[in-house]
Amino acid sequence: LFTHIDHVGIAVRDLDEAISFYEEKYGMKMLHREENEEQGVAEAMMAVGDSTSCIQLLAPLNEKSTIAKFIEKNGVGIQQMAYRVESIDEVCATLKERGLRLLYPEPKRGTAGSRINFIHPKDAGGVLVELVEPNPEGMH
């Protein structure tokens, strides 16, 4: 069903500070950075070595952001686990058949034009699971 770990998402308060930490302490390179208003986030994708898996640093764009709510409740730290898929439409249909709740009826726009959806954490053992179908012209 899933082909790779696409990224692990980490909620941070200050994106620039977090990017500097990952660059300076871990030597990671930033592959991409953008603001996604629909998701309420400023985000940066940090490459883990030469793999295509990333750490996604997520800072809230405003106080209504899901990331602001997450930090208020839990503090900073791991917010989500994202698996890469080939066809998000097929994978979502299969997961629905298996009784899992997806957050969106149709995929939304994610990093670099990817298509994304989420499994509700209450149906996934307390883990917010994101599904990512990358944009072929995007990062990977």
Nearest to ligand V0V of 28, 59 (CB atom) = 59
> Quick check: 74 and 10 in contact, CB under 8 A?
no
Using CB positions, name the residue nearest to ligand V0V: 110
Count of Cβ atoms closer than 10 Å to residue 34 Cβ? 13
Q: Give the shortest CB-23-to-ligand V0V separation in angstroms.
A: 20
Instruction: Pick the closer one to ligand V0V by CB: 22 or 79.
Output: 79
Q: Using CB under 6 A, list all residues that contact ligand V0V.
A: 9, 36, 39, 41, 56, 58, 66-67, 69-70, 73, 79-80, 82, 103, 110-111, 114, 116, 118, 121-122, 126-128, 130
Q: Which of these, 73, 77, 85, lies nearest to 110 by C-alpha position?
A: 85
Smallest gap from Cβ 96 to ligand V0V, in A, equals: 17
Residue-level length of the chain: 140
Q: Which residue's CB is nearer to ligand V0V, number 39 or number 46?
A: 39
Closest C-alpha among 102, 136, 104, 107 to residue 119: 102
CB 103 to ligand V0V: min, Å:
5
What is the distance between the alpha carbons of residues 103 and 75, in angstroms, rounded to a whole number?
23
**Which residue in this structure is represented by tokens 């990817």?**
114
